[in-house]
Structure 1
């Protein structure tokens, strides 16, 4: 195992990321920590706040972190034995930096008492500035802070090494720290702390999934059973549950990315074969192959058990136990209830979805690109009875036409040139028992539509090159921004497949059509802020947001806020100067364009100039089909009417040049191309 820092802090060099969590660049970590300390208002020469909660309050904190404490305490004892008589102490903290437990040398306890290295004291960066505990938790990486690298002068006499502790779901739940006299600095302390933190994680990991299939693996058989082995757990059906950091490193996938995988897709082997290999009395390691082609040696821990029923499996109880030790999770767009933010159109969509949930009725979601069709599909799955089974998403527009058949249906070894050894499981089979989400279904090649129709009718698939069919049980949700009926008329989409897919058709409104914009922006902002980060949206920025037309919809808003949060830092409000230049330029151009068209279009863009000439040529009635669910402007026109009229005027003004018209209106060219077919030819001449 490599040790990240081979010299004293003054000579420490940057190291590349590893499963043990070394910082990307040591000097950068300390510099950023000092910058955060200044931002928090910590004073360098001030005496730190050494206050601590009362005994009863501290007991409540310990009780709330019992899952962490019970797994960490024995390992803290072992770590202390290794550093005894070095003028040091071992500390365990919560995810917020509050000390839960400590063990220390008697000759160091007096000094520790003077600087409040004791249970109940807050060592977050907000309270103490740059220090190993607070900085390790902020950066989510192991770090040493030595002597005057501490932000507050009162702590310059310390040298501290700390590593964050992650629970089995990838969340920071605490930190393990060794603090001592700065004169007793030892270069290997951080390595000991990091290894001890990973031991705690592995202990928590083992205690969280007592009845799951647990796979231990490493590229070298002698490392099985050691701290560096990878551990991944699956249900007996092969659904991925969790993986420790070493496993994530070996698989080359993060915890979140692994949620989309199964045992079969990771190890190119059916779960039934794993059961046969390790179901006997022998515990000899076997060699398996990862999906990236790397060979690993494995041992499997398969608990004898009856049917896989929810009451027999304690995953939910374990998750609840872990969550007690974890900080409040960042809100996720993970349920239909969370997506309901006050807009009547969205509320109607969600109400319809609740009615068909678990009724084996396919769902089709319509809406412009970026409106959140994928989030709605995921939330629908998460609220259904299939939530514990896979959710597999396939973007039919992003997979090359030559590969989409193999991706969907899978293939056997040798099915085609370049096929992976032992073949591959297709997306439909991966979704067995769960939900298959076919995004951009309108882009599926015509020759595959017949095969998909057969799968939906017979619930069976035939992988490429296979001689037998495989039964599949999937709930189907699809989405598109295209008009499938137009595609049917053009011969590009099968009518029988369309009627098989559209059991319930719902339409997500564009962001500019929604009445709940402020709540949507605030909820997105919460998902983008790290724990402890306090970022708001200033009123001038919210005013700009209300004026904008959001051609990229929720996805565009999400990406803009993500950048703005980084620009703001740890605390403050998003101001105009935090927004991208191209966004501000587009807003400026949109205001100019709005003042050159109709009063109705100006109404659709609040704060645009209402002083505008009457339209040169009125929009014929037949060009504006009835749209009862669109907002009407002050003069009775619908938003659809005035938008089409504005587009027609700009196309006339620019002699049919779509790029120039789009730029003048502040919309994308695709928007104009999509809506041109709604305009009568005489308006475009």
Structure 2
């Protein structure tokens, strides 16, 4: 850790800090002022988070990753809205108390008008990443902090918030701002991909190895070639501001007719093409397009085709990590089916018999795999997990078996040992093994037979000693019949087969809720229980996402209920009610027979046609009553907004 002594207020960066101090004085602030200890009340904070739901949703996992990188450094990660009001924070327990002394907590404004010169407020004013260290803060009370902040822009370049790392001045590190800037750019790229999910997206960079990374340029186009927007990296590569690019056609930006790359990548999916920027720089590019039903084909490009999916859209990051400590004992929360599975698995303790875990997505297959590892003699060795469905075929071989230096273009120098070698002495968990390509199945079979692995581009066989646990939601026997899964591999991995039940089929829901809430960090003042009304609603839910969905619902609700004794119904996510009653295939929740819903009752034996009419009438009447407000209608009906938009598009075609 690199330390830096406190510096005078305007030393080192006179322009930024001096101008910020001048603004603070003009605002009538006094350096000796005491920080405001009156954050927004819970309902107001909840409403503010709702207004910034897209930012909040996409930032949360990035904040958790960033916090993991700076953990135990007496610091915290902070997310604010575009006015500098803190929406959420994650911090080390030994720093939270110090942060509370200066009101660095959710619901408090850190705009310059309220806090004077500080990284959050100053970064938002200047629209640029900013560090404010120790005595560079205007308020004396804030000089215990060193803060690094980067603004976050929406896909159209408008500032919608800021990401900040604030910590003890003694823990200042010159690389913190770089981490914050990269994390903010990651959030922006997530927002960009979400905003233009139904558009044609071009991923490009002058260096091919940067395609699929944080540094790739992203440009979005309508099906007719109209430019829509571009991310920060693309703007930098174009060398032009967004407003100027919006007046340019595709051929002016990339030196080629719009139809040409579409037709070329349609004929040869997965292959990169070379385009030329206005500056004359040649870049490697890949396109991505998943066309919705209402898009018409453009220039002969088939609306259903998908072109050259970049590695960025198939990130191997896991959306939901399991509990920090999973053992066979902690997984037994009272359900008889699960208890029987745990007893069978326990009999294999100390024996390297492979285990195949079946079950729907989110049922806790990785939790069980970690418990098997922890309760074995291999517990002191690594547990290494790989999701076979999260990587494209071109990367899974390198990730699993490793590669030598120079094995392929873009490979890391000194190569990579791969997941199999990383798991030597421990346990290798292959999640979604049913999605592993046949070529890699053959190589894996050889590893399991010979207990050696040869990296890509290498000649030397590396001996490995590991236990293998696999999981899938697919029917492997049916895949064997179809020729998409090798029978010899199947019999290598299914020493013991267990099937985890879906959450709706378990009897220990209340115990699971208590266990998950108990695992929350103590320092976050998060509730440890739910109200009876919430538990009753949980019992009604069909839980299509199983344990993963339950964990995510509890995490969001806990943050909404921060500071309260328990989670109430109003703390639950907006779209959660959609999954609390049985859903129709179209995603429209169906009320019980003969029970009125918003003034409309449905016959007990409705035909599919009448059910579709009922659904359409319900949505139409709700929209009419709410003056066409889609968000409000979706919230009242317990639907996702996309479902309401689907209805609107369908109605417009009739």
> Shorter chain as normaliser: what TM range?
0.3 to 0.5
Q: Say which one has the larger Rg.
A: 1
So what's the TM-score if we normalise by structure 1?
0.44
So what's the TM-score if we normalise by structure 2?
0.46
